[in-house]
Amino acid sequence: MSASALADDLALSVYDPATAGNDAGAPTAPATGGEGEPHGRHREARLGSTDKELKSGAAAADSVRTAPGTPRQRGEVMDAAGGSRNTLPRPCHVLVLLNPRGGKGKALQLFWSHVQPLLAQADVSFTLMLTERRNHARELVRAEDLRRWDALVVMSGDGLIHEVVNGLMERPDWETAIQKPLCSLPAGSGNAVAASLNYYAGYEQVTKEDLLTNCTQLLCRRLLAPMDLLSLQTACGQRLFSVLSLAWGFIADVDLESEKFRRLGEMRFTLGACLRLVALRTYRGSLAYLPAETLASRRGPSPARAPQDPADTHVVPLEQPVPPHWTVVPEQDFVLVLVLLHSHLASDLFTAPMGRCSAGTMHLFYVRAGVSRAMLLRLFLAMEKGRHMECHCPHLVYVPVVAFRLEPKDGKGVFTVDGELLISEAVQGQVLPNYFWMVSGYREPPPSLKPQPSPRRKSQQMLPPSERP
Amino acid sequence: MGGSGSRLSKELLAEYQGSTLTGSLPSARAHRRFCELLPQEHRSVEESLQARVSLEQILSLPELKANPFKERICKVFSTSPSRDSLSFEDFLDLLSVFSDTATPDIKSHYAFRIFDFDDDGTLNREDLSQLVNCLTGESEDTRLSASEMKQLIDNILEESDIDRDGTINLSEFQHVISRSPDFASSFKIVL
């Protein structure tokens, strides 16, 4: 199958679930409860069955839980009326989960100064909930009555989005819960998701308050887009989901002396990061992956293929060797391995300039041992503008993949998933295409895999779709 | 000058404990390593405690060889007027600051002095540029270009120069370094 045919196929399944018919992963209508809208009433009637699930938590827990990633019953929640499944209603009511310690303690202040005024003008009413500690958001979301909100707005860093998505997937009603639209407002270290959405919306790369304002405007405009989810399995049988990235090695290592965890969001090269170079070491392990190209050539012509179960399509249990059609990187010393679902690793690290991945694909980067401190420094400096691939570093390898497996060989591996610490002997994962919704800035299909320099808008004014370049 | 005379007695070691910067007990191993740098015939206890070892010799120690800041480290701990040699006491001071027992405060204080290449009490752009050159190497193909260097130093100052005077003073430095998870591992020398 040609790449463009595949893209067409994916584009169909991404943007028009009604006609795709055979895609197991496309999201279905977000279950909103908009007031005064015909769609709202229509959905409420169907929500009756969901209501019962949400109310009787105990009963739901007793019921057989379908494994996350199995194909959902698409007929039940499809919005036959069409149209507004890709936008939030107007007016809408959102839950804002805010970490007051984010943004150097200024997150709450920033909410009132930069976010609230815009929301007020845009008929977005909100309820503010402050998170008090790690996993607080996760617990809240697990237990929350989601019908109360049209969207969950996360104002913090990538770690909080990670908690919210995992909290949703941990619910007994995860299949409907994961359809609740999310929004990322950056206020913390590590705002790669917000920066990526900013980039996809066609805005110039900005940071801090400018990025916050851009993302708030996206929320006010209410457009939603489907997002991929990375489903991960660890050696001890733990299952978790990533919205952005998994990293191992240089980016992820924990300093065991100080027990201070190198957070992904602080990747920008500064004094502390320079010290990291002083203690530069390598990490021994083996890596295997399923290239997107291999998958495309194996699938053959569509559209008659049977719906596939996303959970089991690509990965086999960790105890078994990887399938024969995977690519194996023999055991060796690495400096870092990174799988990345989006364009940015931090608000000023444009890590994947090669173009947005098509649904179901993610970026795999790895750096082999032997790279000099100077080259590594140069790569990260160039990454601010997305020019690191032009360094032609022979130790840096890039492949678009749909699944991977990583097995550290010198003790337990230290990984960072969306900036959060994970320690495991081995980890593997695959992308679940179009698994949840986020407030975003576009409706057209994502750019092709060829890098396309497009004029970046300097102003924060968002042009209506008809006037976009 | 007998065989046993070249090893520090426990009493002498204890005497040295009081004089090192961090109060930790210097190891007999440190004394052995120091003596190995002296000429064969001058390795008695009395002589070793008076002797000074040149910078080149200290730099040949494997534990220091790989450190990009080895020259500055030696200069900072040298008490000779021309700062080109280390006594055993200097050597002990160096080891104690780089050991596990030194507090982060002490380590960061000395790190600041090490990075202050012009010894003027603050880290200016020139100091930072020399710091980076130590990391990358100074040959044509490894050193950063002028624009890369500017970008990096701008990043560093943006993060660390709180009073925006264009330099990093000791307290600004300590503030940044104390938050770094990499500081301990990059400032450690264990024989």
For residue A288, which of A257, A322, A258, A264 has the smallest C-alpha distance?
A: A322
Per residue in A2-44, pLDDT (tens digit) is 444 443 433 332 333 333 333 333 333 333 333 333 333 333 3
pLDDT of B42 reads 81
Judge whether residue A123 has pLDDT over 80.
Answer: yes
**Which of B69, B131, B184 faces A257 most closely, judged by CB atoms?**
B184
CA distance B177 to B169: 12
CA distance B112 to A329: 42
**Which of B135, B156, B180 faces A377 most closely, judged by CB atoms?**
B135
Model confidence at A78, pLDDT cuts 50, 70, 90, reads very low
pLDDT of A298 reads 79
**Which of A269, A272, A381 faces B180 most closely, judged by CB atoms?**
A272
Which range has the worst mean pLDDT, A199-208, A222-231, A264-273?
A264-273
For residue B151, which of A376, A269, A273 has the smallest C-alpha distance?
A: A269
Asked if B67 reaches chain A (Cβ–Cβ under 8 Å), the answer is yes
Asked if A378 reaches chain B (Cβ–Cβ under 8 Å), the answer is yes
Element (H, E) at A366: strand A362-368
pLDDT of B186 reads 75
CA distance A88 to A308: 29
pLDDT of B63 reads 84
The conformation of residue A142, written as its DSSP 8-state character, comes to H
Q: Is the peptide bond before A172 cis (omega within 30 degrees of 0)?
A: no
pLDDT of A84 reads 52
Q: Which residues fall within 8 angstroms of residue B86, CB to CB, at 6 or more apart?
A: B52, B53, B55, B58, B74, B77, B78, B79, B80, B94
CA distance A157 to A171: 22
CATH topology of domain B15-98: Recoverin; domain 1 (1.10.238)
Contact residues, chain B, for A266 at CB < 8 Å: none
DSSP string, A234-245: ETTS-EEEESSE
Three-state DSSP state, A91: coil
Which range has the worst mean pLDDT, A160-164, A416-420, B4-8?
B4-8
Asked if B178 reaches chain A (Cβ–Cβ under 8 Å), the answer is no
- CB contact residues (below 8 A), chain B span 145-174, against chain A: 148, 151-152, 155-156, 158-160, 173
Closest residue in B to A250 (Cα) is B182
pLDDT of B46 reads 81
Residue spans per domain, chain B: 15-98, 104-187
Judge whether residue A245 has pLDDT over 90.
Answer: yes
pLDDT of B26 reads 60
pLDDT of A7 reads 39
Contact residues, chain B, for A254 at CB < 8 Å: 181
Which member of A150, A158, A228, A253 is catalytic? A158
What tokens appear for A311 in the block? 């959970």
- CB contact residues (below 8 A), chain B span 85-124, against chain A: 100
Inspect the interface and report whether the beta carbons of B156 and A260 lie closer than 8 Å: no
* Helix count and strand count (H, E) for chain A: 15, 16
For residue A460, which of A216, A222, A225, A224 has the smallest C-alpha distance?
A: A216
pLDDT of A151 reads 97
CATH topology of domain B104-187: Recoverin; domain 1 (1.10.238)
pLDDT of A279 reads 78
Average pLDDT over residues A217-237: 95
Asked if A254 reaches chain B (Cβ–Cβ under 8 Å), the answer is yes
* Per-residue b or e along B40-59, where b marks 16 or more CB atoms closer than 10 Å to that residue's CB: eeebbbebbeebbbebebbe
How would CATH label the architecture of A92-296+321-439? Answer: Sandwich (2.60)
Contact residues, chain A, for B184 at CB < 8 Å: 255, 257-258
Asked if A279 reaches chain B (Cβ–Cβ under 8 Å), the answer is yes
The conformation of residue A260, written as its DSSP 8-state character, comes to E
Inspect the interface and report whether the beta carbons of B186 and A276 lie closer than 8 Å: yes
DSSP string, B98-156: TSTTS-HHHHHHHHHHHH-TT-SSSB-HHHHHHHHHHHH-SSTTTSPPHHHHHHHHHHH
Closest residue in A to B180 (Cα) is A272
A158 is catalytic: yes
Contact residues, chain A, for B99 at CB < 8 Å: none
Three-state DSSP state, A254: strand
Average pLDDT over residues A381-404: 95
Judge whether residue A296 has pLDDT over 80.
Answer: yes
Contact residues, chain A, for B138 at CB < 8 Å: none
pLDDT of B78 reads 93
pLDDT of A24 reads 36
Number of A:B CB contacts under 8 A?
Answer: 91
pLDDT of A266 reads 52
**Which of B152, B182, B188 faces A269 most closely, judged by CB atoms?**
B152
> By the 8 A CB rule, do B178 and B104 touch?
yes
- Tell me which residue has tokens 């679902």: A341
Inspect the interface and report whether the beta carbons of B135 and A373 lie closer than 8 Å: yes
Q: Which residues fall within 8 angstroms of residue B74, CB to CB, at 6 or more apart?
A: B55, B58, B59, B64, B86, B94
Per residue in A351-376, pLDDT (tens digit) is 999 988 888 999 999 999 999 999 99
CA distance A415 to A232: 12
Provide the β-strand partners of residue A346.
Answer: A349
SS3 breakdown of chain A: % helix, strand, coil, rounded to 5? 30, 25, 40
Asked if B21 reaches chain A (Cβ–Cβ under 8 Å), the answer is no
Alpha carbons within 13 A on the beta-carbon side of A90? 13
pLDDT of A323 reads 95
Question: ipTM score here?
Answer: 0.81
Judge whether residue A117 has pLDDT over 80.
Answer: yes
Contact residues, chain A, for B137 at CB < 8 Å: 372-374
Residue B81 corresponds to which amino acid?
Answer: P
Strands A283-291 and A245-249 come out as unpaired
Mean pLDDT, rounded, of chain A: 77
Inspect the interface and report whether the beta carbons of B182 and A381 lie closer than 8 Å: no
Inspect the interface and report whether the beta carbons of A258 and B183 lie closer than 8 Å: yes
> By the 8 A CB rule, do A27 and A436 touch?
yes
pLDDT of B1 reads 38
Three-state DSSP state, A151: strand
Model confidence at A189, pLDDT cuts 50, 70, 90, reads confident
* Per-residue b or e along A284-296, where b marks 16 or more CB atoms closer than 10 Å to that residue's CB: ebbbbbbbbbebb
pLDDT, block means (10 residues), chain B with 191 residues: 54 65 67 85 81 89 87 93 90 89 89 95 96 90 91 90 93 84 75 75
CB count, 10 Å around CB of A358? 23
CA distance A294 to A20: 23
pLDDT of A93 reads 97
Interface with A, mutate which of B108, B112, B131, B135 (most A CBs under 10 A): B135
Percentage, residues of chain A above pLDDT 70: 69
CA B19 to chain centre: 18
SS3 breakdown of chain B: % helix, strand, coil, rounded to 5? 55, 5, 40
